[in-house]
Chains A and B, each alone.
Chain A
Amino acid sequence: MDDIIKRNPLRSLIIAILIAVFLWLVFAPWPPELVAKWGRKQIFLNALLGGITLGALYFLVAAGFTLIFGLMRVVNLAHGSLFLLGGYLGYEIASLTGSWFIAFPVVFLVVGLLGLLMQRFIFSKMEGEELRQTLVSIGISIVLADLMLWLWGGQSYSILAPGFLTGPMELPIINSINASTGATNWLRYPAVRVWILIAAIVIGVAMWLVLNRTALGMLIRAGVDDREMLAASGVRIQLVFLAVFGFGAGLAGMAGIIGGTFQSLSPGEDTRFLLASLVVVIVGGMGSIVGAALGSLIIGVTEQMGFVYAPTYSVVFTFLIMAAVLAFRPQGLLGARR
C-alpha cells in the first residue's frame, strides 16, 4: 500500500480527495446551497443505498455466472432463466409453506440440480466447443422462458418478506438536521434491503474464503488457470465442474427469491438479470469473484444514480462504463489477461 502511494503520489492524492468528498457527502448534513443544486440529501442517499443493494443482488447472480465462465469457459446465457425460475419456485414454496426461509435451501437444491443436469447431460458432451455451448444455452433459455410463461403467466409476482424484515430501520447516517429544533433526522431505510446487503456480503466473503482457503477452492482456482494441467494431474475435473455449475445455478436461484422480494418477478426479468450479469462480468473481469463484486457495485450504483438524476439516459451510463472498460482494459477491471 505504501509502495503504491509512493509510486503514484498524484493519483493517490486524487483518489484520497474523492473518497473524502464521498464520505462527506454521505455522512455530513448537506448545506442549503448543495440541497438547492442537487435536491435533498435523502434522494442522494436513497439512490446510493439502492444502488448498493441492487449491486448486492447483481453480485449474487453474476458470481455464479463468472465462476462457471472462468472454470468451464461456458457462457451460460440461460443464467437469467435460472434466476427467474428460482424466484417463481421461491414464490410457490413461500406461499405453500408460509415460510420465507424454507424457500432458500429448497430453491438452492432444485435449481442447483437443474444446473447439474445441464452440465452433466448437455454442456459436458460438447466440451471445448464454446460457441455451440453458448448456442445451446440460448436454446435452453428460450425453452425455459416459454415454459415459465406457460406456468406462471404474464403477471408480476412479489414475494412477501417475513414480518421482522418488513418496515424501515434507522441507519447511523444523518439525513437532515431540523433547522428550528436542532434535532437530528437519521436515515430510515427498508430493513429487508439492509439484510440482503449483509447476506450478499456474507456469501461473497464465504465464497472468497472457500476459493482461497480450502482444498476445493484450490482445485477450482487451478482449473480456472489451466484446466488441462489440472486434469492431467489426476483430479476428476468433471466432478469439480459439476460442483461449480450446481453451486452457481443454485446461487442464481436463491438470488431469484431475493429479487422477487425486493422487486418483482415477471417475464423479461430473466433477460434483465442476464444482461446485468454480462455487464458486471465484462466490467469486473471474467472469472474473478472480487471482480464480480466490484463490477456489481459499480453497475448497481450507476444504474440507480442515473435513474434518479437522469431518468431518460440511465442506461447510457451503464453502457458507457462498459464501453470505457472495453476500450481501455478489455479483460475487465480485475480480469487476468489470458
Chain B
Amino acid sequence: MAMTDQAPRFVNRADQKLWFERIPAPWWALAVVLLFLPVVANNFWLFQVMGWTFILGMIGLSLMFLAGYGGMVSLLQMSIAGMAGYMVAILGNSGTVTVSLGLAWWIVLPAAFLIAALFATISGALAVRTEGIYTIMITLAIAAAFFYFTRQNYTIFNGYSGFNLVLPPQLFGVNWRDPVPFYYLSLALAALSYGAVVYVSRSPFGLALQGVRDNPRRMAALGFNVTAHRVAAYALASVFASAGGILLVWQNAQIAPGTIGMSAAIDVLVVAVVGGMRRPLGPFIGAFIYVILQVFSPDILGFFGFSADRFKLIIGLGFLAIVLFSPDGVLGLWDRWRARRRQQQDQKTGGGVA
C-alpha cells in the first residue's frame, strides 16, 4: 500500500487494519467451510449441488452486475453462457465429430470467451438503444431468437440434439470432471468472478456505471459516454456468464437448445431476484436455494402428496412471493431483520444508534 508510507506516523492503529483484517469473521467462516467441504460432503453434493450452485450463481452474477450496477435487467445472460458453451463444443471435441473442429484447449477457451463477449457486445449495443423495461423485452426477444436458431440450425449448432460428450481437457493430469476437482474449479472461478465484481463495482468504471444507472442525463452532462459504459458493462458481464456456461457444458458433458431455452433464461432472473440484486452475494444465495429446491423437490412434494413434476410451481410461487413481499430478495429480508434487531437492542439499552 503506497498510501501508508506517506501517511503521518501518529495515525490511530485501529484505522490501519491490514486488508485481511477488514474482512468480517463470517466471511472467513464461509471460506473455511467451502474449502473443506470435500472432507465431509459426498460426491453428489460436491458435483451436483455445489457445482451447479456455483455455475448458476456465476450466470446470475452477470445479470446482477448488469441489473444492480447498470440498471439493465437482461434476460440474455443464459444465452451468452450458452454461446460460450456451444463454442467450446463446436471448436473443441464432442461426440458430434462432423461439426466439432477438435482444436486445442488453449485456442478453444479464449475463443469461446471472445465470441461470447462479441455476442454480448452486439446484443448489448442493440439493447441499450432503449431503456428501462424495454431492455427486458428486447433481451428476451434476442434470447428467444438465439434459442430457436440453435434448434433450427444443423450446420453450426447441430439443431435439436446439440452436442454431447463435451469433456474438459485433461490438464495437469487431472480429470476435471471428477467431483472434487470440479468442485474446486467451480469454487475458484465463482470466487474469482465474485471478487472481480466487487472490485469493479468500486473502480472508476463501476462507479460511473452506477452513476449512469441513477441518472444517465447528469452523467452525460458530466461528459461520460452513457452508451459506451452500458455496452462495456454487457461485455464485462459476459465474462462471468461465459465462465459459468463453459463449466455448465463440462458438468453436463452436453449442450442442447434446451439448455438455453426460455425457462432457463427466466431461471437466471429468478435466481438473481430471489437472492437479491443489490449485492454480488445475492445470486449465489439464490442459486443455492434454487438448486436445493430442485434437488429435493421430489421428496418435499412427495411428502405433501404431490407429483415431483410440480417443482416449477414451487419456484414460481416462491418467486412471486419474493417479488410481492421483498423485492430486494432474501438478502433484503436479512438486512431488514438485522436492522430491526439492532433497533430493538437499542431500545433495551437505551443506547444511541449502533
**A150–B154 alpha-carbon span in the complex (Å):** 33
> Of residues B309, B313, B317, which shows the largest number of chain A Cβ atoms within 10 Å of its Cβ?
B313
Cross-chain contact B313 with A139 (CB below 8 angstroms): no
Checking B134, B137, B312 against A145 with a beta-carbon cut-off of 8 angstroms, the contacting residue is B312
Checking A134, A140, A314, A327 against B152 with a beta-carbon cut-off of 8 angstroms, the contacting residue is A314
Cross-chain contact B141 with A279 (CB below 8 angstroms): yes
Cross-chain contact B152 with A315 (CB below 8 angstroms): yes
Checking A145, A311, A315 against B145 with a beta-carbon cut-off of 8 angstroms, the contacting residue is A315
**A140–B132 alpha-carbon span in the complex (Å):** 21
Cross-chain contact B319 with A142 (CB below 8 angstroms): yes
Cross-chain contact A134 with B312 (CB below 8 angstroms): no
**A150–B317 alpha-carbon span in the complex (Å):** 15
Cross-chain contact A275 with B155 (CB below 8 angstroms): no
Chain B 60-81, CB-CB to A under 8 Å as 1, else 0, gives: 0000000000000100000000
Give the size range of B's interface with the partner.
Answer: 35 or more
Residue of B nearest to A271 (CB): B262
**A326–B313 alpha-carbon span in the complex (Å):** 35
Residue of B nearest to A275 (CB): B144
Chain B 126-155, CB-CB to A under 8 Å as 1, else 0, gives: 100110111011101110110011001111
Tell me the B244-298 residues at the A interface (CB within 8 Å).
Answer: 262-263, 266, 269-270, 273
Say what secondary structure dominates the interface of chain B.
helix
Cross-chain contact B315 with A142 (CB below 8 angstroms): yes
Tell me the A143-167 residues at the B interface (CB within 8 Å).
Answer: 143, 145-147, 149-150
Determine how close the nearest CB of chain A comes to the CB of B258; give it in whole angstroms: 11
B97 interface hit (Cβ, 8 Å): no
Determine how close the nearest CB of chain B comes to the CB of A69; give it in whole angstroms: 9
Tell me the A289-338 residues at the B interface (CB within 8 Å).
Answer: 311-316, 318-319, 322-323, 326-327, 330
Cross-chain contact B149 with A316 (CB below 8 angstroms): yes
Determine how close the nearest CB of chain B comes to the CB of A161; give it in whole angstroms: 28
Cross-chain contact A134 with B133 (CB below 8 angstroms): yes
**A150–B310 alpha-carbon span in the complex (Å):** 8
Q: Would A282 and B319 be within 8 Å (CB), given that A312-B154, A315-B145, A326-B129 are in contact?
A: no
Q: Would A330 and B310 be within 8 Å (CB), given that A132-B327, A146-B316 are in contact?
A: no
Give every chain B residue within 8 A of A326 (Cβ-Cβ).
126, 129-130, 138
Tell me the B299-328 residues at the A interface (CB within 8 Å).
Answer: 309-310, 312-313, 315-317, 319-320, 323-324, 327
Give every chain B residue within 8 A of A129 (Cβ-Cβ).
327
Checking B152, B153, B312, B324 against A146 with a beta-carbon cut-off of 8 angstroms, the contacting residue is B312
Checking A136, A271, A311, A313 against B320 with a beta-carbon cut-off of 8 angstroms, the contacting residue is A136
Residue of B nearest to A125 (CB): B324
Cross-chain contact A313 with B153 (CB below 8 angstroms): yes
Determine how close the nearest CB of chain A comes to the CB of B249; give it in whole angstroms: 22
Give every chain A residue within 8 A of B324 (Cβ-Cβ).
122, 136
Cross-chain contact B138 with A134 (CB below 8 angstroms): no
Q: Would A130 and B153 be within 8 Å (CB), given that A271-B144, A282-B141, A319-B142 are in contact?
A: no
Residue of B nearest to A154 (CB): B309
A138 interface hit (Cβ, 8 Å): yes
Tell me the A15-48 residues at the B interface (CB within 8 Å).
Answer: none
Q: Would A282 and B137 be within 8 Å (CB), given that A146-B313, A275-B144, A316-B149 are in contact?
A: yes
**A100–B126 alpha-carbon span in the complex (Å):** 43
Tell me the A234-288 residues at the B interface (CB within 8 Å).
Answer: 271, 275, 278-279, 281-282, 286
**A132–B269 alpha-carbon span in the complex (Å):** 12
Cross-chain contact B148 with A315 (CB below 8 angstroms): yes
**A311–B149 alpha-carbon span in the complex (Å):** 10
Residue of A nearest to B327 (CB): A132
Tell me the B43-100 residues at the A interface (CB within 8 Å).
Answer: 73
**A132–B144 alpha-carbon span in the complex (Å):** 22
Cross-chain contact A275 with B140 (CB below 8 angstroms): yes
Cross-chain contact B316 with A139 (CB below 8 angstroms): yes
Give every chain B residue within 8 A of A5 (Cβ-Cβ).
none
Tell me the A50-109 residues at the B interface (CB within 8 Å).
Answer: 73, 75, 77
Residue of B nearest to A135 (CB): B323
Cross-chain contact B312 with A136 (CB below 8 angstroms): no
Checking A130, A132, A142, A279 against B266 with a beta-carbon cut-off of 8 angstroms, the contacting residue is A142
Checking B152, B269, B323 against A136 with a beta-carbon cut-off of 8 angstroms, the contacting residue is B323
A131 interface hit (Cβ, 8 Å): yes
Give every chain B residue within 8 A of A330 (Cβ-Cβ).
129-130
Residue of A nearest to B137 (CB): A278
Please list 11 pairs of residues, one from A and one from B, whose beta carbons are closer than 8 Å in the complex, sorted by A's number.
A131-B73, A135-B327, A140-B316, A142-B315, A150-B310, A279-B141, A282-B141, A315-B152, A322-B145, A326-B130, A326-B138
- Residues of chain A whose beta carbon lies under 8 Å from any beta carbon of chain B: 73, 75, 77, 122, 129-132, 134-136, 138-140, 142-143, 145-147, 149-150, 271, 275, 278-279, 281-282, 286, 311-316, 318-319, 322-323, 326-327, 330
A-B pairs, 10 with minimum CB distance:
A142-B316, A139-B320, A143-B316, A319-B145, A146-B312, A275-B144, A330-B129, A315-B148, A146-B313, A271-B262
